[in-house]
Structure 1
Amino acid sequence: MYKPRKFLRGVAVVLSLAMSLGLAAGCGNSQASKTTSSDKPYAGTQLRVVFANHPWSDALKAQLPEFEQKTGIKVNAENYFEDQLTQKLTVELTSGSTTIDAFMFRPLQEGKLFATNGWLNDINSYAQKDTAWNLGDFNKGAIGTVTMNQKLYGIPIVTEREIMYYRKDILQENNIPVPKTLDELVAAAKKLNNPDKGIYGFVARGQRSPAVTQFSSFLYSNGGDFAKDGKASINTPEAIKAYQTYGDLLRSYGPPGTLNMAWPQAFAVFQQGKAVFLTDADSLYTNLTDPKKSTVSDKVGFAQFPAGTAGSKPYNITSWALGMNAKSKNQEATWEFIKWATSKEQVLKMQQAGNPGARESVWNDPEGLKNFPKEYADTVKASMKDSVDHDRPVVIDIGPARDAVGGAIQAAIQGQDVTAAANAGNTALQAIIDKEKK
C-alpha cells in the first residue's frame, strides 16, 4: 500500500543529507567553516594567489606549507612572467573576477591604474589594527610607493634604491676618495676616463625610456621632480641642471653606444672592467659581484648616491607589492596570508634569500644583513633615510610619460639643446597629466 508520509520522510532525509554534503563540499570557497576552531578561524578556506616569476615568490612558496599548516588555509598559487602577469590581472579584474584573492603587482608600473579602476582593496584598516604585525616598521619611502590618496593599496615585498657602484682598486691606485657629491663624481670620472686603455669614467642607462628611472635620482638631488602640484616640472632650472649633469657624464666620459643602453648593457660594461663608476638599482648588485658574471667581482665598491644641490636624494621604492583584490570573497583570510607573507619573520627569510625587503627592523638585524656585503648593506640603510618614493612620473599612461622625460636625456647625451627638449617633454607630460584628471 502506498504510504505518502513515509515517502516524504525519506525525501526529507535525502535532502538533508544532500544539503549537508553540499555544505561540506562548498566550505573551501567560504570564508571559514562553522566547525573551525578559534585558533584557525579560516580553516578550509582556499585562496587563489597570483605571483610573478620572481626570486621573492620562489622563496615564499617554499614556506607555504608552514602557513597552510598554521592556519588551515589552502593557497593555490599561480606564476606568470611580468608582462603575462599584467595582462592576466588586467583581463580578469576588468571582468570583475572574484576568484583572485591576492596578487603581486608593480606599484609604479600599474598601481595607479589598478587603484583608479577599483581593483585594489584599501587595506589600511587591516594593517592598522594588527599592531603586533606593525605597519610602522615598514620604511616610509616604500610605504609611500603603495599609498595613493591616503589609501594603502599594497604591502611592500621587494624594494630598491639607486646607489653608486665604483671600482675600489682604480680609486685606490689613483688616490681618489669615493665621490660624495655629483660635482666630485664628474671630476673623478673626468680624471679616470681613459678610452685609449678601454676604461671609461662613467656608465649608466642611456636608452630613452629605461634611463628615466635612474635619471630620477639626479633630478631629486638637484631639487627637482617630474611634477609638482599637478604640473609637469621637467623644464625647471633644477631639472635642466640634472639633465645636463647626466648627459655630460655619459657624453664626455661614457662608452660608445650609450644611447642604446638599458641596464643589461650598462652593467656589462662594468662587468668587463671597462668603467669606473655606475649608478643604478641596488637590487641588481649580484650581477657585478658574481664571479661567473663579472671579471671585477672582488673589486666592486658601493656608495650612497652622490649629493646634488638638494643633498643625496635617491629614489627608494617598492618595486613589487602584494595586494588584495577588492572583490575577493575571502578578504579576512586573504589578509591573514598577506600578514604572514610580510611578517618580520618572513621578511627576514626572504631577505636572507637575497630579496631586499621594507622592514627597518630586519635591516637593523645582523641576521637580515649576513648574506649581503657589509658596504652594500650600509649603503642601502643610508639610502633609505632621505629618499623619494617614486622613480618615474606617477601616472597611469606610464610609457608615453617616460618617453616624454627621456627625450631630454638623450638630447643631453648628444649635446643637443636640452632646454628645448625639456620644454617639449614638459608639454607632452602635462598633456598626460591633464588627460588623467578628467
Structure 2
Amino acid sequence: MRPYLFILIFLALIVGCGPPNKVGKEQITWAVGKDATGAQGELIKLFESKYPAYKVNMIEMPESASTQHDSYVTYLSTADSSIDIYTIDVIWPAEFAAAEWIIPLDDYFGPIKETDFLKGPIDACIYQGKLYAIPWFTDAGVLYYRKDILREEKLTPPRTWQELIDQAMKLQEKYKVHGFVFQAQQYEGLICNFLEYVWGNGGSIEYNGKFDIANPRARQALQFMVDIIHKYEIAPEGVITYKEEESRQIFTSGRAAFHRNWPYVWAIAQNEAKGSMVKDKVGIIPMVHNAGCKSSSVLGGWNLAISKYSKNKQAAWKFIEFLSSYEAQKLYAIKGGRLPTRKDVYQDEEVLRFAPHYRDFYQVFINARPRPVSPYYSQISDLLQIELHQALTLRKTVEEALIDASKKIEEVVRQQVP
C-alpha cells in the first residue's frame, strides 16, 4: 500500500495541477477522492487565483472509500508529513481522532460559524466534544429514474419495494434495459445500500448502543436485496461488482430504468459532454421502502481534516476555509453535483435552477441517518461487507451471513471494551 501512495504523491508533484515549486508559493498537499466532474480542479484554480501566495498539489485517491481508508491509515500510522489535508468519509472522524492522526479545529472554526452548516454533517465531525473536521459536502442516498419512459408508460415513480419490482420488470422487458442498478460490490457502499433497506423496513442494526445484525427486519432487508438480483432479476448479476461509478455509467448511458446512488449523479446525467444519454430525462425520488414503513437515506459525505503531522497547518486551514465557503460550495454544487453543507447555498437561485430537487429534498438531506459512530466502525464495516456479499453471491443464506456477521462483530466489540 505504501509504495502506491508514494507513486501518487510523486505524480501529483510532477503533473498535479501545475508546477508545484514556484518560488515564494506556500505548498498545500490535498488528498481527495477521484472526481468524475472536473469540479475539484476548478476549485483549486479559483483558490490559487484568489490567493496567489499558495499552491495546491492534489493527490487523487482511488474511487473506493475502503481503499482510501486503508491508504490513509497506512500513511498516517507512519507519521508522514507529506499530506496536509485529508478528505475523510463521514464515518472516519471518530477513528482518526481517537488515533490522534488529525487535529481539533475548534480554534479555527468557532461556534458562530458552526450554525451556518447543517447539523448532521457537523455532528459527524465531533469526537469527545471537539470538532476534528469541517464538512465539505454531504450526501444522502436517492433513487434516480427515467422520467421519459415512466411518462410514456403512465407510471407514477415507485415508493415501495413492490412498486419498484413491478415497474422495473415491466420496463426491463419492454425497453430492453436493466431494471435497476445499485452498488453491491464488497465495500462501504454496500453497507449504505443495506442500511437504507433495513431502515426502510422499519428496522435497525443497532439498538440501545448495541449491535443486532441478525434481527428479523435486517434479514428481510437483505433477502430483498438478494431477490432483486436472483429472483426478480431486475438487476444484472454483475451488480455484485459495481461501485458508484460502474452503476452510474450504466444509468447515464441509458441502459437502466432505475438507479440508486448519491446526488452527484445529477450533474453528470445533465452533461452530454460527459457522455450522458439521459439529459433532461431523469427524475429523483427518495429511496423506496417496504409497505407500511418510511423511506430513509444514509448520511454520506466527506469532510476536510488537517493531519497532525502537517508542517503547513495554517496554509491547510486557509484552503479548507475556502472549500467550505459559500462561493466554493455553490461552485461544487453546480459543477460537481455535490450537496452543500452550508444551509444558505440551498436558497441560492442559480443552484436551484440547476438542481430544482434541492428545494424539495432539503428535509431528506438534513434528516439522513448516520451510520453507527464508533472508533472501530471500520472493523465492523469490513466484517459486515464480507458477509453481505456472501449472501448476494449465494455463497451463504441470508440467515447464515447475518448470524456470522453478528458473531464476528460481537467479538470485535468485546475486544475493544476495557
> Same fold by TM (over 0.5)?
yes
- Return the alpha-carbon distance in structure 2 between the equivalents of residues 417 and 302 of structure 1: 33
Deviations 1:162-210 (A, max 9, x none): 110111122222222111233432343344442x862343222232334
Dislocated runs of 4+, deviation >6 Å: 84-88
Cα 1:59–1:177 change in 2 (3 A) is same
Supply the AA of the counterpart residue of 1:419: E
Q: How many Å apart are 1:229 and its aligned residue?
A: 4.7
Q: How many Å apart are 1:299 and its aligned residue?
A: 2.0
Q: How many Å apart are 1:82 and its aligned residue?
A: 1.3
Contact (CA 8 Å) 1:303, 1:379: kept in 2 or not?
A: no
SS in 2 for 1:120: coil
- Return the alpha-carbon distance in structure 2 between the equivalents of residues 312 and 66 of structure 1: 43
Matched, 1:340 2:318: no
- Return the alpha-carbon distance in structure 1 between the equivalents of residues 297 and 392 of structure 2: 21
Superposition CA RMSD, Å: 3.4
- Which aligned pairs between 1:342-421 and structure 2 lie closer than 5 A? 342-354=324-336, 355-372=338-355, 374-375=356-357, 377-378=358-359, 380-390=361-371, 394=374, 396=376, 398=378, 401-408=381-388, 410-412=390-392, 414=394, 417-421=397-401
Matched, 1:285 2:263: no
Supply the AA of the counterpart residue of 2:287: F
Supply the AA of the counterpart residue of 2:221: A
TM-score between both structures, scaled by the size of structure 1: 0.74
Deviations 1:279-304 (A, max 9, x none): 12222334434335233334222112
Partner of 1:120: 102
- Return the alpha-carbon distance in structure 1 between the equivalents of residues 93 and 309 of structure 2: 16
Partner of 1:423: 403
Matched, 1:63 2:63: no
Structure index of larger Rg: 1
SS in 2 for 1:62: helix
- Which aligned pairs between 1:42-81 and structure 2 lie closer than 5 A? 46=26, 48-52=28-32, 54=35, 55=38, 57-65=40-48, 67-68=50-51, 74-81=53-60
- Return the alpha-carbon distance in structure 2 between the equivalents of residues 350 and 220 of structure 1: 30
Supply the AA of the counterpart residue of 1:317: G
Matched, 1:273 2:251: no
TM-score between both structures, scaled by the size of structure 2: 0.77
Count residues in correspondence: 382
Q: What percent identity do the matched residue pairs reach?
A: 22
Partner of 2:282: 300
Partner of 1:82: 61
Cα 1:416–1:275 change in 2 (3 A) is farther
Gaps of 5+ in 1: 1-43
Supply the AA of the counterpart residue of 2:263: D
- Which aligned pairs between 1:14-413 and structure 2 lie closer than 5 A? 46=26, 48-52=28-32, 54=35, 55=38, 57-65=40-48, 67-68=50-51, 74-82=53-61, 90=73, 93-96=76-79, 102-108=84-90, 110-129=92-111, 131=112, 134-194=113-173, 198-209=176-187, 210-251=189-230, 252=232, 253-291=234-272, 292-308=274-290, 310-318=293-301, 320-326=302-308, 334-354=316-336, 355-372=338-355, 374-375=356-357, 377-378=358-359, 380-390=361-371, 394=374, 396=376, 398=378, 401-408=381-388, 410-412=390-392
Contact (CA 8 Å) 1:98, 1:329: kept in 2 or not?
A: yes
- Return the alpha-carbon distance in structure 1 between the equivalents of residues 76 and 395 of structure 2: 45
Contact (CA 8 Å) 1:49, 1:78: kept in 2 or not?
A: yes
Cα 1:197–1:352 change in 2 (3 A) is closer
Q: Which moved more, 1:151-160 or 1:379-388?
A: 379-388
Cα 1:201–1:120 change in 2 (3 A) is same
- Return the alpha-carbon distance in structure 2 between the equivalents of residues 418 and 62 of structure 1: 49
Supply the AA of the counterpart residue of 1:273: G
Supply the AA of the counterpart residue of 2:411: A
Contact (CA 8 Å) 1:248, 1:413: kept in 2 or not?
A: no
Deviations 1:84-140 (A, max 9, x none): 97688656644546676x4032234653442121121222343235x3xx2112122
- Return the alpha-carbon distance in structure 1 between the equivalents of residues 253 and 28 of structure 2: 44
Q: How many Å apart are 1:331 and its aligned residue?
A: 5.3
Contact (CA 8 Å) 1:110, 1:396: kept in 2 or not?
A: no
SS in 1 for 2:115: helix
SS in 2 for 1:285: helix
Cα 1:299–1:68 change in 2 (3 A) is closer
Q: How many Å apart are 1:378 and its aligned residue?
A: 4.0
SS in 2 for 1:127: coil
Q: Which moved more, 1:87-96 or 1:282-291?
A: 87-96
Q: How many Å apart are 1:228 and its aligned residue?
A: 4.1
Partner of 2:8: none
- Return the alpha-carbon distance in structure 2 between the equivalents of residues 85 and 203 of structure 1: 24
Cα 1:181–1:175 change in 2 (3 A) is same
